[in-house]
């Protein structure tokens, strides 16, 4: 683990070096593809080291979860970028219409310059390297500020990227919130920030000084609606995966479940069965991730304490020794039944293995509950009846949707990923990210002969032509 921290005062020099190098030698298709392939090879070779660093930062994290979420996803995204890059870089022809014939027009994707990436702690490699790789694919240079809450993983990223890129193409800076604020307020050509809505507002305010374009990947309360026709055993299995992977520390994890009232208890039983089948009695819990740090652990425990104090049913799916739980920052999967709307766990994004299960009288009531909240980052609808799914999709605006499962829309390379309103701004992944980190430069090519040569006073001589054009 490195103790190196970047002085915010050093940022202007770092940015100058990145921009000067980019101006002197803008990346070609060949360089971009070579950079991505070298990054892929370096990461693949160091996956065990990556998983060990992440686990050490969390206190314990399943190696398999790290390999899936922070290894496989990044490698797959790089493969997708490399496979489509030459096509995305081609100019696109645009029709000019008869008024401008015989001119021709095109849009040409050109890189922006220097892209900043401020990445979070929950998937510290995935959410750092996917936007970074996308920025590289778009022909930019990058400055990355990883999370201070995962220092070992941040040191790994710094080492990995120094192995692949020269310092004037990719720079890694390390520090706390003050450094992040300074970076957000720097004259970047684009900035990608992943984190909470509260911090996202501050990032946006800081970026406004230089009118820096933003991609904000935030959070919120992502609902799951289980319709009356959907089998509860399958719903419980897929909800358990989405909610308890990484111990719920996932921005698109189901934040609460809405289920028809007469099946609520059965869903709870099915969820208990799923957890017990996956993790047993938690005596080992090798496949279960711990809470990232003490502050997060105490916040989550506070949510449960408040619910209990209000007489709300709180069901811990397993029992572990309280001293062990405190020592390991271990919170077992926990279900909360019908919590009132004013509880903290129903007002704030949970970001942990706590799942409110709320009964609703009918689908319209479930939709109304979702509509009463900020637009979510993710929406999950479980139904085999297409008409019911379409009813939800027609009335709820969300950042992304998975039908009859959870999380997976994030992993599909061809789908844009992004929020809406308080859950985010803009989108990235694959083509969406490439376009966001490029300038679609419009170009009009005038011909040797052009009607514009005639558009000059006295306009009285052009009355007939103008009458034809203005219609």
CB burial class (10 A; 0-12, 13-18, 19+) of residue 177? exposed
- Of 65, 227, 251, 349, which residue is the catalytic one? 251
Three-state DSSP state, 454: helix
What DSSP line would sit under 133-199, residue for residue?
HHHHHTT-EEEEE--TT-HHHHHHHHHHHHHHS-TTTEEE----HHHHHHHHTS--SEEEEES-HHH
- Of 217, 227, 349, 358, which residue is the catalytic one? 217
Do 218 and 196 contact (CB within 8 A), yes or no?
yes
Query: Which residue in 196, 236, 230, 234 sits closest to 216, CA to CA?
Result: 196
Element (H, E) at 57: helix 47-58
What tokens does 50 get? 């990556």
**235 Ramachandran zone, left/alpha/beta (phi>0; psi -120 to 50):** alpha
Distances (CA, A) of 83 to 28, 32, 35, 37: 16, 12, 14, 11
Across 323-376, where does the E strand assignment appear? 334-337, 354-360
| 217 catalytic residue (yes or no) | yes
Other Cβ atoms within 10 Å of 454 Cβ, number: 9
| 82 catalytic residue (yes or no) | no
What tokens does 412 get? 């599909």
Other Cβ atoms within 10 Å of 456 Cβ, number: 9
What DSSP line would sit under 201-267, residue for residue?
HHHHHHHGGGT--EEEE-----EEEE-TTS-HHHHHHHHHHHHHGGGG--TTS--EEEEEGGGHHHH
What gap in Å lies between CA 201 and CA 249, rounded to an integer? 21
**Residues belonging to the active site:** 217, 251
């Amino acid at each position: 683990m490195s103790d190196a921290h970047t002085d915010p005062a050093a940022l202007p020099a770092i940015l100058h070096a990145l921009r000067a190098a980019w101006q002197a030698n803008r990346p070609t298709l060949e360089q971009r593809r070579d950079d991505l392939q070298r990054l892929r090879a370096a990461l693949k070779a160091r996956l065990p080291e990556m998983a060990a660093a992440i686990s050490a930062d969390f206190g314990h994290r399943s190696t398999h979860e790290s390999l899936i979420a922070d290894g496989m996803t990044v490698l797959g995204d790089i493969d997708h970028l490399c496979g489509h890059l030459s096509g995305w870089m081609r100019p696109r022809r645009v029709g000019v219409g008869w008024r401008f014939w015989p001119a021709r027009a095109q849009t040409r994707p050109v890189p922006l310059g220097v892209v900043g990436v401020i990445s979070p702690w929950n998937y510290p490699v995935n959410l750092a390297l996917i936007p970074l790789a996308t920025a590289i694919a778009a022909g930019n240079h990058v400055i990355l500020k990883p999370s201070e809450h995962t220092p070992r993983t941040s040191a790994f990223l710094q080492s990995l990227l120094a192995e692949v890129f020269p310092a004037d193409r990719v720079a890694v800076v390390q520090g706390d919130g003050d450094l992040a604020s300074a970076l957000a307020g720097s004259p970047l050509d684009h900035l990608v920030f992943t984190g909470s809505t509260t911090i996202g507002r501050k990032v946006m305010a800081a970026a406004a000084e230089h009118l820096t374009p933003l991609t904000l990947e935030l959070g919120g309360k992502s609902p799951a609606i289980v319709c009356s026709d959907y089998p509860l055993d399958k719903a419980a299995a897929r909800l358990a995966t989405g909610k308890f992977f990484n111990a719920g520390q996932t921005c698109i994890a189901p934040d609460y479940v809405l289920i028809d009232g007469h099946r609520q208890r059965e869903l709870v039983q099915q969820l208990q069965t799923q957890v017990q089948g996956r993790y047993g009695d938690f005596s080992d819990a090798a496949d279960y991730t711990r809470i990232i740090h003490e502050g997060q652990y105490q916040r989550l425990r506070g949510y449960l304490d408040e619910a209990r104090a209000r007489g709300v049913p709180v069901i811990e799916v397993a029992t572990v020794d309280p001293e062990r739980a405190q020592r390991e920052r271990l919170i077992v999967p926990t279900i909360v039944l019908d919590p009132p709307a004013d509880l903290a766990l129903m007002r704030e994004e949970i970001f942990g293995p706590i799942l409110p299960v709320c009964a609703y009288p009918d689908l319209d009531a479930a939709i109304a509950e979702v509509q009463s909240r900020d637009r979510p980052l993710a929406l999950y609808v479980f139904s085999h009846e297409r008409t019911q799914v379409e009813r939800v999709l027609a009335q709820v605006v969300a950042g992304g949707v998975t039908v009859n499962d959870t999380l997976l829309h994030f992993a599909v390379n061809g789908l844009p990923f992004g929020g809406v309103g308080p859950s985010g701004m803009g989108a990235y992944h694959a083509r969406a990210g490439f376009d966001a980190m490029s300038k679609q430069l419009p170009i009009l090519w005038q011909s040797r002969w052009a009607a514009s040569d005639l558009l000059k006073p006295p306009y009285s001589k052009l009355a007939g032509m103008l009458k034809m054009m203005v219609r």
